[in-house]
Amino acid sequence: MDNYVEEFGESYMGRVLSRQEGTNEDYKWTHIWDIKVSDPNQFKIAHEKIIKKFKKQFEGRWVAFGTYDINYPNGATHWVGVSGKDNHEHIMLYDELQKQSEFIKLIGERGKTEDVRDYMVTNLKSY
C-alpha cells in the first residue's frame, strides 16, 4: 500500500489494556478520546466497571481503553474508543448515560484525567 500513499502523517503506537469486541455490523463509526491519565490502573478498573454496569447500553459496541507508548499525540498518554452508528447515535448514547447518577459516579472513580482531543473514525474494512 505504500506505493499508493502520497504522504504519511504522524503515527502512534500503543497497547490495548481493556477491550469489548463489537458485534453489531452497523457500528462502523468510532469516537476516540485522547487523554492524559494520572493513574492508569485506577482508570482501567473504573472503565471496566462502567462497561459492566451499563452492559445494555454498550451491547454490540466495540469499547476499549489503551495506551500511547510511542509518540504521544499532543501529550496524550492514553485513549478511549466507543463505536456506534453515526454522530447522532453517539450523542443519544452519551445523553442517556450522563442522565444516570451511577454513570457520573463511576466516571469520577477513574481518577484525574485531562481531555486532549477527540475525533471520529470509520471502519472501512476489517481483516
Q: Where residue 127 falls among pLDDT bands split at 50, 70, 90?
A: low
User: Could you tell me if residue 67 is inside a domain?
Assistant: yes
Q: Where residue 68 falls among pLDDT bands split at 50, 70, 90?
A: very high
User: Could you tell me if residue 7 is inside a domain?
Assistant: no
User: Could you tell me if residue 8 is inside a domain?
Assistant: no
CATH of the domain at 44: 3.30.70.100
User: Could you tell me if residue 1 is inside a domain?
Assistant: no
User: Could you tell me if residue 31 is inside a domain?
Assistant: yes
Q: Which pLDDT does position 1 carry in this prediction?
A: 61
Listed in sequence order, the residues at least 6 apart from 79 whose beta carbon sits closer than 8 Å to its beta carbon are 14, 32, 33, 34, 35, 65, 66, 67, 68
User: Could you tell me if residue 20 is inside a domain?
Assistant: yes
Q: What is the pLDDT of residues 69-103, one digit of tens each?
A: 999 999 999 999 999 999 999 999 999 999 999 99
Q: Which pLDDT does position 41 carry in this prediction?
A: 96
User: Could you tell me if residue 51 is inside a domain?
Assistant: yes
Mean pLDDT value across residues 99-120: 96
Q: Which pLDDT does position 87 carry in this prediction?
A: 93
| Number of folded domains that form the chain | 1
Q: Residue 26: which domain range? A: 14-122
Q: What is the pLDDT of residues 25-40, one digit of tens each?
A: 999 999 999 999 999 9
User: Could you tell me if residue 34 is inside a domain?
Assistant: yes
Residue type, 103: F
Q: Where residue 121 falls among pLDDT bands split at 50, 70, 90?
A: very high
The whole-angstrom separation of Cα 40 and Cα 46 is: 10
